[in-house]
A and B are shown apart, each in its own frame.
Chain A
Amino acid sequence: MISRPMQITVALLVAAILGMGFYALKLKQKVETLHANSDNRPVAPPMTGAMQTVTLWVAHDDGTLHQQQMQLAMPDEPAARAMRVLQALVQIYTGKDSPHPLGAGSDIEDVYLVNGTTAVVDLNQTFADTHPSGIMVEQLTIISLIQTLTANVPNVTRVKFLVGGKERDTLAGHEDLKMTYDVSTVSQVAQELQ
Chain B
Amino acid sequence: MTRRFRIGRQWASRRPLIAGTFAVLAFLLVPGRALAADQPHLAIFAQQINYLVNVQVRDGSEYVGLLDVLDPLGQVATHINGKKWTLDFSSSGNRVEIVCQEGKRKCSVRGADVEMAAKFVVSEGHGYVPVSALAEILPRITNLTANLNVRGRRLLLGINGVHLSSDILKNPSRLVLTFPSPVKPSVTNEGNTLLLTFTREPVTISGPETTNFGDPLITSGRFMVVNGAALYLVTATAPVVTMFSQGNRVVTISALPPAAVPTPAPAQPPAKPPVQAQPTPTPVQPAPQKPTAPTFIVAIDAAHGGTETGALLSPTLAEKDVTLALARRIARELQSKGIGVYMVRTGDTQMTLDQRASAANTAHAALYIAIHAAAQGHGVHLYTAMLPPSMAVPTHHAFVPWETAQSAWLDLSATAAGSIADECNRRNIPVRAMPAAVRPMNNIEGPAIALEVATPSDTLEDINSATYQQSIASAVAAGIIAIRPKLEAAR
Q: A residues near B, CB below 8 A?
A: 61-63, 132-137, 139, 142, 169-170, 172-176, 178-179, 181-182, 184-186, 188-189, 192-193
Give the residue among A132, A137, A176, A189 with the most B Cβ atoms within 10 A. Answer: A176
* B386 touching A189, Cβ below 8 Å: yes
B68-76, B176-184, B333-341, B374-382 - the one binding chain A: B374-382
User: Lowest 8 CB-CB distances: which A-B pairs, in order?
Assistant: A133-B311, A134-B374, A182-B388, A176-B437, A176-B439, A135-B452, A185-B388, A137-B376
Question: How many Å lie between the Cα of A170 and that of B311 in the bound state?
Answer: 13
* A63 touching B377, Cβ below 8 Å: yes
CB contacts under 8 Å to A, within B442-472, are: 442, 450, 452
Collect the chain B residues with CB atoms within 8 Å of residue A63's CB.
Answer: 376-377, 432
A-B contact count (CB 8 A): 79
* A179 touching B374, Cβ below 8 Å: no
* B372 touching A134, Cβ below 8 Å: yes
Option from B374, B387, B388 in Cβ contact (under 8 Å) with A135: B374
Question: How many Å lie between the Cα of A185 and that of B390 in the bound state?
Answer: 10
Collect the chain A residues with CB atoms within 8 Å of residue B308's CB.
Answer: 173
Question: How many Å lie between the Cα of A110 and that of B233 in the bound state?
Answer: 58
Collect the chain B residues with CB atoms within 8 Å of residue A135's CB.
Answer: 372, 374, 381, 383, 436, 438, 450, 452
Collect the chain B residues with CB atoms within 8 Å of residue A193's CB.
Answer: 434
Option from A62, A136, A175 in Cβ contact (under 8 Å) with B374: A136
Collect the chain A residues with CB atoms within 8 Å of residue B348's CB.
Answer: none
Option from A132, A179, A185 in Cβ contact (under 8 Å) with B375: A132
Q: List 5 A-B contacts (CB under 8 A).
A: A132-B375, A173-B304, A174-B372, A175-B437, A185-B387
* A136 touching B388, Cβ below 8 Å: no
User: Per-residue 0/1 for B109-152: is the Cβ within 8 Å of any A Cβ (1 yes, 0 no)?
Assistant: 00000000000000000000000000000000000000000000
* B311 touching A132, Cβ below 8 Å: yes
Closest to B304 in A: A173
* A133 touching B310, Cβ below 8 Å: yes
Closest to A61 in B: B376
Closest to B432 in A: A63
With contacts A132-B375, A133-B319 known, is A170 near B439, CB below 8 A?
Answer: yes
Collect the chain B residues with CB atoms within 8 Å of residue A172's CB.
Answer: 311
Question: How many Å lie between the Cα of A68 and that of B439 in the bound state?
Answer: 30
Question: How many Å lie between the Cα of A176 and that of B440 in the bound state?
Answer: 8
Collect the chain B residues with CB atoms within 8 Å of residue A137's CB.
Answer: 374, 376
Q: CB of B306 within 8 A of chain A?
A: no
Collect the chain A residues with CB atoms within 8 Å of residue B372's CB.
Answer: 134-135, 174
Question: How many Å lie between the Cα of A176 and that of B310 in the bound state?
Answer: 14
Collect the chain A residues with CB atoms within 8 Å of residue B394's CB.
Answer: none
CB distance from A131 to the nearest CB of B (A): 10
Closest to B352 in A: A169
* B377 touching A136, Cβ below 8 Å: yes
Q: CB of B257 within 8 A of chain A?
A: no
User: Per-residue 0/1 for B423-436: is the Cβ within 8 Å of any A Cβ (1 yes, 0 no)?
Assistant: 00000000010111
Q: CB of B403 within 8 A of chain A?
A: yes
* A134 touching B438, Cβ below 8 Å: no
CB distance from A149 to the nearest CB of B (A): 16
CB distance from A169 to the nearest CB of B (A): 6
Q: CB of B389 within 8 A of chain A?
A: yes
Question: What's the dominant secondary structure at chain A's contact region?
Answer: mixed
Q: CB of B353 within 8 A of chain A?
A: yes
Question: How many Å lie between the Cα of A137 and that of B389 in the bound state?
Answer: 24
With contacts A63-B432, A135-B452 known, is A181 near B376, CB below 8 A?
Answer: no
With contacts A173-B308, A189-B386 known, is A136 near B452, CB below 8 A?
Answer: yes
Collect the chain A residues with CB atoms within 8 Å of residue B389's CB.
Answer: 185
CB contacts under 8 Å to A, within B192-208, are: none
Question: How many Å lie between the Cα of A182 and that of B404 in the bound state?
Answer: 13
Collect the chain A residues with CB atoms within 8 Å of residue B452's CB.
Answer: 134-136
With contacts A63-B377, A133-B310 known, is A179 near B437, CB below 8 A?
Answer: yes
Question: How many Å lie between the Cα of A179 and that of B442 in the bound state?
Answer: 9
Question: How many Å lie between the Cα of A139 and that of B312 in the bound state?
Answer: 18
Question: How many Å lie between the Cα of A107 and that of B181 in the bound state?
Answer: 61
Q: A134-B375, A175-B436 are in contact. List 6 more A-B contacts (CB 8 A).
A: A61-B376, A132-B375, A135-B436, A136-B374, A179-B442, A185-B388
CB distance from A94 to the nearest CB of B (A): 17
Closest to A172 in B: B311
Question: How many Å lie between the Cα of A137 and that of B373 in the bound state?
Answer: 12
CB distance from A175 to the nearest CB of B (A): 6
* B381 touching A136, Cβ below 8 Å: yes
Collect the chain A residues with CB atoms within 8 Å of residue B311's CB.
Answer: 132-134, 172-173
CB contacts under 8 Å to A, within B295-317, are: 304, 308, 310-312
CB distance from A135 to the nearest CB of B (A): 5
CB contacts under 8 Å to A, within B383-422, are: 383, 386-389, 403
With contacts A135-B381, A170-B439 known, is A179 near B403, CB below 8 A?
Answer: yes
With contacts A173-B308, A185-B388, A192-B434 known, is A134 near B376, CB below 8 A?
Answer: yes
Give the residue among A135, A170, A184 with the most B Cβ atoms within 10 A. Answer: A135
Closest to B311 in A: A133
* B387 touching A169, Cβ below 8 Å: no
Question: How many Å lie between the Cα of A137 and that of B308 in the bound state?
Answer: 18
CB contacts under 8 Å to A, within B355-382, are: 372, 374-377, 381
Closest to A179 in B: B437
Question: How many Å lie between the Cα of A139 and that of B375 in the bound state?
Answer: 14
Closest to A140 in B: B376
Question: How many Å lie between the Cα of A181 and that of B442 in the bound state?
Answer: 13
* B439 touching A185, Cβ below 8 Å: no
Question: How many Å lie between the Cα of A10 and that of B259 in the bound state?
Answer: 99
Give the residue among A62, A139, A175 with the most B Cβ atoms within 10 A. Answer: A139
CB distance from B408 to the nearest CB of A (A): 16
CB distance from B428 to the nearest CB of A (A): 19
With contacts A173-B311, A185-B389 known, is A142 near B437, CB below 8 A?
Answer: yes
CB distance from A147 to the nearest CB of B (A): 14
Closest to A135 in B: B452
CB distance from B444 to the nearest CB of A (A): 13
* B436 touching A139, Cβ below 8 Å: yes
CB distance from B92 to the nearest CB of A (A): 36
